[in-house]
Amino acid sequence: METAIEFKNIKKSYGEKVVLEGFNLSIEKGEFITIIGSSGCGKTTALKMVNGLIHPTSGDIFVDGENIRNKNQTQLRRNIGYAIQGSVLFPHMTVEQNISYVPNLLNKRDKEKTKNAVSKWMKIVGLSEDLKHRYPSELSGGQQQRVGIARALAASPDILLMDEPFGAVDEITRRQLQAELKQIHEQTGITVLFVTHDISEALKLGTKVLVMNDGKIEQFAKPEDLLRSPATEFVKELVKKERRTCYLPEDQLSSCEFSGTSGKVSSFDAR
Amino acid sequence: MLQEMWFIFTDRIDFFLKLLLEHLEISLISILIAILFGGLVGILISEFQKTAKPTLGVINFLYTIPSISMLGFLIPFSGVGNATAIIALTVYALLPMVRNTHTGITNVDPAILEAAKGMGSTRTQILFKIKLPLAMPVIMSGIRNMVTMTIALAGIASFIGAGGLGVAIYRGITTNNTAMTMVGSLLIALLALIMDVLLGFIERRMNKRSVKAKKTNKVMAVAAVIVCLGIAGSVLINTQQKDTIQIATKPMTEQYVLGEMLDILIEQDTNLNVELTQGVGGGTSNIQPAMETGEFDIYPEYTGTGWNMVLKHDGLYTEDLFDELEKEYSEQFNMKWVGMYGFNNTYGLVVRREIAEKYNLKTYSDLKSAASNLTFGAEYDFFEREDGYDALCETYGLNFGKTMDLDIGLKYQAINQDKIDVMVIFTTDGQLSTSDVVVLEDDKQFYPSYICGNVIRAEVLEEYPELNTVLEKLNGLITDSNMAAMNYSVETENKEPRDVAEDFLRSHNLLQ
Ligand SMILES: Nc1ncnc2c1ncn2[C@@H]1O[C@H](COP(=O)(O)OP(=O)(O)O)[C@@H](O)[C@H]1O
Ligand SMILES: [Mg+2]
């Protein structure tokens, strides 16, 4: 398998304060990585390093085998979808203008192509065509998230970075969005990095889960491995509740399937 | 009062409309420059935050300079007239523009900016696609404040010879015509109000985000631009029809009348167009430099003032020096004195007729024997000045029984009520023509002579020789008492300077 993103010996500190240290991680193409950890442990920092919004104090990051230091940051970012909490739509642009923002940065000429991309992505994220000319303030929370996802994907990037994108929507909408995102991932084969503080969301969506604590990696494994054999006390504590929702005795936990597609995963989150 | 204002407004509607247009022109040019330049500075200091503090500091400081001083500072650099006014107005308009642009941009939600950056926007793209549109409401409200402020402030532009409604205010003040001042002020307020309502409307339209509203906005914007271009075009066409003579006058009642006479006669007798800038603030000290740069072509001046203030001689001017005066004007400035009106606006001494008859007074020297029985009155400063009371008494050996300080506005009342016997006056004072007094002769020439004539740039006279014929007609036309009577008509009877000028010319058969 090809490596999509690689963190090599990353250290990040703000003055005295060390946020990340000895951070090594290799992410393969087409993976859906969920990143979970206590608040302030450096999840956002790690994510923003991929698209160059934050530069490491030392160490290197490779995207598609190329050190991003040597890349034009703007070009790099245009190839990486980016969706953050609350989706942060541009309030002065319509749904259509929001979604076509990146395609317009890439090529202003080909209006037809952009238009088709907007329609296609609106359909995929489940937005009806007649919302095109609405402004963000005229949309529900769930609709806003969908626009946010469509906007991040509209230029068909190879990598998608998402920082707690579903943090502010209600439970039902969140479950719909999760299912849609999962489907998009399966259909496009895009590499996804998804930060969450909800362990059930992390287990449900991720093909691999990265558990972080205090700037270090606790465990990087498939969801079922995380449940089956937590590497540290921290991980054990984190997945304790999720293990119990299997209603299986300790010794039989290995037969509990925690794939995100099973649909059996509890929606009681770990917060 | 209201009735009087309405009357003067309807009577002189052309005059007021012309001023209104000028006012709008000066204000709008300043506003436009401030929007472009201030907007640019606001953007730059938001992009380079380190420069924000010092820049805002400097602009804040400029803002605290009183407008009159600002105009005063600028005159040596940009002369009198519209240019200076526009510069000053622009400087004041900058602060709200820069500050609001800066505030608007720096207050955009950083999360939105990070999203835009993370999606691969360049700095310029973030500025134009995100920051500026989101800052627009704050910038618009800044523009709205700035526009009303500029329109109000443009009222003082006339103090330095710029046009606009300030001309009506200033003329009202100098010629004691309250109704005119009030109409001018009211029109400024009205203009500011209308502009504010208009901008409020634009602001509301811009905040509407529906697609239909956007379309309507575009249509309206295009229509507005067409109307503006139309107005600008017609203004340009109107102003450039004929060759124009620029005439300036000082802020004195009699100069307003003289200015109107020149305007009437030149436009009647030649094909030239006259642009009259009445009551330039600061008088000679601002008009002379503008004459030198060619901004003005003609203005009425007094020989004594020319000698002392323009040629900067120290000594006392008498008319024996007129040839020398003409020679130096010609050599130093290439200017000529043409059309000497005849009257002499100098200081003078008057005594009540009763007293003059009693003591048989004709000259200042005659006062010597009678002085100890008489009360002498003058403004406060006459007793302080070097060439004032003490010098006068010494020259003529006078020793008055009593002296009295008087307010300039009340001194004629004092002499008419017999409170004083001898008084200092200007020889063309309007009230002189209705007071029962005798003007004495300055037999030892204590006061300089201030004969009134026109100073004209020789180049202009060469280019338009027909002006010579017109100006020659003015030679010896007006006596001291003529001028005093005309001043009286304007100041006390509240007649229009133009009407007074016209009446006078008609009675001397100079009108066709
Ligand atoms: N610009 C900054 N200056 C100083 N400290 C920062 C800065 N940005 C983040 N931090 C600190 O770095 C740590 C990690 O932040 P972050 O990656 O945002 O955490 P999270 O895992 O909650 O996303 C936090 O303790 C935060 O306070
Ligand atoms: Mg975070």
What is the DSSP annotation of B219-270? HHHHHHHHHHHHHHHHHHHHHTSS-EEEEE--SSHHHHHHHHHHHHHHHHHS
Distant-in-sequence, close-in-space partners of B428: CB < 8 Å, separation ≥ 6: B254, B343, B345, B480, B483, B484, B487
Which among A77, A92, A133 has the least Cβ separation from residue B119?
A: A77
Q: How confident is the model over B411-462, as pLDDT tens digits?
A: 888 898 898 999 999 899 988 888 899 999 888 888 889 999 999 999 999 9
How far apart CA B412 and CA B307 sit, in angstroms, is 30
Tens of pLDDT, residues A233-258:
999 988 887 776 655 555 655 555 55
Q: For residue A254, what pLDDT is reported? A: 58
Task: Mark the ranges of chain A whose per-residue pLDDT is less than 70.
Answer: 1, 86-87, 244-271
Mean pLDDT of B330-352: 93
Is B111 in Cβ contact with A76 (below 8 Å)? Answer: no
Question: How many residues in total does chain A contain?
Answer: 271
Q: How many CB atoms lie within 10 A of CB B54?
A: 10
CB atoms within 10 A of CB A270: 19
- CA dist., res. A182 & res. A166, Å (int): 13
- Please identify which residue in the block is written with the tokens 């001494």: B349
CA distances (Å), origin A42, targets A17, A31, A45, B188: 12, 21, 5, 61
| Pair A35, A193: CB distance under 8 Å | yes
- The pLDDT, as a whole number, for residue A262 is 41
Residue B493 vs residue B386, higher pLDDT: B493
Alpha carbon distance A159, A191 (integer Å): 5
Largest CA distance in chain A: 62
Contact B118 A133 (CB under 8 A): no
The answer, for A133 touching chain B at a CB cutoff of 8 Å, is yes
Give CA–CA dist B96/B301, Å, rounded: 42
Query: To which H or E segment does residue B358 belong?
Result: helix B353-359
Rounded Cα distance between B277 and B290, Å, is: 12
Q: Atom 26 (ligand 1): residue with closest C-alpha?
A: A40
Cα–Cα distances in angstroms (integers) from residue B336 to residues B32, B113, B125, B247, B467, in the given order = 40, 67, 62, 14, 12
**Ligand 1 center to residue A269 CA distance, Å?**
24
Are the beta carbons of B453 and B473 closer than 8 angstroms?
A: no
* Residue A111 falls in which region: left (phi positive, over 0), alpha (psi -120 to 50) or beta: alpha
Tell me the C-alpha distance between B183 and B201, whole Å: 27
Residue B221 has pLDDT above 90, yes or no: no
Q: Which two tokens stand for residue B379?
A: 């403004």
Nearest ligand for residue A48 CA: 1
- Those of residues 172-211 in A touching chain B at CB distance below 8 A are none
Torsion A260-A261-A262-A267 (CA) sign: positive
Looking at per-residue pLDDT, the higher value among B330 and B156 belongs to: B330
Comparing B113 with B413, which gets the higher pLDDT? B113
B225 beta partners: none
What ranges in A67-189 are assigned the alpha helix state H? 73-78, 95-99, 101-106, 111-124, 141-153, 171-188
- The angle subtended at Cα B505 by Cα B165 and Cα B249, nearest 5°, is 35
ipTM greater than cut 0.90: no
Question: Do the Cβ atoms of A84 and B111 come within 8 Å?
Answer: yes
Dihedral in degrees, nearest 10, Cα atoms B160, B166, B171, B172: -150
In this structure, the residue with its CA closest to atom 12 of ligand 1 is A19
Distance, in Å, from the CA atom of B50 to the CA atom of B44, rounded to the nearest integer, reads 10
A168 touches chain B (CB under 8 A): no
The amino acid occupying position B44 is: L
Q: Distance (Å, rounded) from C-alpha B472 to C-alpha B455?
A: 13
Distance A214 CA to ligand 2 centre (A): 13
Residue B73: its pLDDT value, please? 83
How far is the CA of B456 from the CAs of A144, B326, B334, B453, in angstroms? 75, 11, 9, 10
State if residue A215 touches ligand 1 by the CB under 6 angstroms criterion: no
CB B213, CB B201: distance < 8 Å: no
Distance of alpha carbon B31 from alpha carbon B16, whole angstroms:
22
- Please give the single-letter amino acid code of residue B473: K
B343 closest CA partner among B453, B253, B233, B237 = B453
Which helix (H) or strand (E) segment holds residue B32: the answer is helix B13-47
Q: Give the tens place of pLDDT for each residue, B159-217.
A: 777 888 988 888 888 777 888 889 999 999 999 999 999 999 888 888 776 667 778 88
User: Which residue has a Cα nearest atom 9 of ligand 1?
Assistant: A45
Minimal C-alpha gap between B73 and chain A (Å): 44
pLDDT of residue B202: 87
So what's the pLDDT on residue B235? Answer: 64
Instruction: For residue B424, count CB atoms less than 10 angstroms from its CB and return exposed for 0-12, middle for 13-18, buried for 19 or more.
Output: buried
Structure confidence at residue A261 (pLDDT): 35
Q: What is the DSSP string of B136-147?
A: HHHHHHHHHHHH
A76 — contact with chain B (CB < 8 Å)? yes
Lowest mean pLDDT among A28-42, B339-353, B375-389: B375-389
In order, the DSSP letters of A69-80 are GGS-HHHHHHTE
Model confidence at B493, pLDDT cuts 50, 70, 90, reads confident
Q: Are B338 and B456 in contact (CB under 8 A)?
A: yes
Tokens of B16: 């007021």
Helix (H) / strand (E) element for B13: namely helix B13-47
Q: Which atom of ligand 1 is nearest to the CA of A46?
A: 17
Distance CA B65, CA B83 (A): 19
Tell me which residue has its CA closest to atom 2 in ligand 1: A14
**Contact between chains at A135 and B134 (C-beta distance less than 8 A):** no
Phi and psi at A106, nearest 5°, equal -75, -55
Helix H or strand E encompassing B486: helix B480-491
Confidence of residue B489 (pLDDT cuts 50, 70, 90): very high
Average pLDDT value for residue range B136-159: 90
Distance from CA of B115 to the nearest CA of A (A): 7
H or E element that contains B352:
strand B347-352
Residue for token digits 């300039």?
B408
Q: Quote the mean pLDDT of chain B.
A: 89
Structure tokens at A195: 């930060």
Using one digit for the tens of pLDDT, what is the confidence trace for B293-307? 888 999 999 999 999
Tell me, using a 6 A CB cutoff, whether residue A45 lines ligand 1.
yes
Supply the pLDDT for residue A266.
43
- Nearest partner of A26 among A196, A199, A210, judged by Cα: A210
User: What does the radius of gyration of chain A's CA atoms come to, in whole angstroms?
Assistant: 19
Distance A60 CA to ligand 1 centre (A): 19
- The answer to whether B17 faces chain A, any CB pair under 8 Å, is no
What percent of the residues of chain B are helix, what percent strand, and what percent coil, each to the nearest 5?
65, 10, 25
pLDDT for B280 equals: 85
Which residues of B, range 181-220, sit inside 8 Å of A by Cβ? Answer: 209-211
Which atom of ligand 1 lies at the shortest distance from residue A163's CA?
Answer: 23
Cα separation, B88 vs B84, in Å, equals 6
Q: Which residues of B touch A158 (CB under 8 A)?
A: none
Q: State how far the alpha carbon of A164 is from the alpha carbons of A4, B21, B150, in Å.
A: 21, 59, 50
Tokens of B343: 């009257």
- Distance, CA of B282 to CA of A205 (rounded, Å): 82
**B476 three-class SS:** coil
Q: What is the DSSP string of B45-112?
A: HHHSGGGHHHHHHHHHHHHHS-HHHHHHHHHHHH-SSHHHHHHHHHHHHHHHHHHHHHHHHHTS-HHH
Q: Which of A123-127, B218-222, B325-329 has the highest mean pLDDT?
A: B325-329
Please indicate whether, in this complex, the C-beta atoms of A78 and B120 are within 8 angstroms of each other. yes
Q: pLDDT at position A87, please?
A: 62
Q: What is the pLDDT of residue A265?
A: 43
Q: Which residues of A118-144 are buried (b: 16+ CB within 10 A; e: fewer)?
A: beebbebbebeeebbebbbeebeebbb
Q: Distance from the CA of A48 to the center of ligand 2, in angstroms?
A: 10
What is the pTM for the complete model shown? 0.74
- Report which of B439, B437, B418, B449 is spatially closest to residue B362, judged by C-alpha positions: B439
- Determine contact, residues B254/B483, Cβ cutoff 8 Å: yes
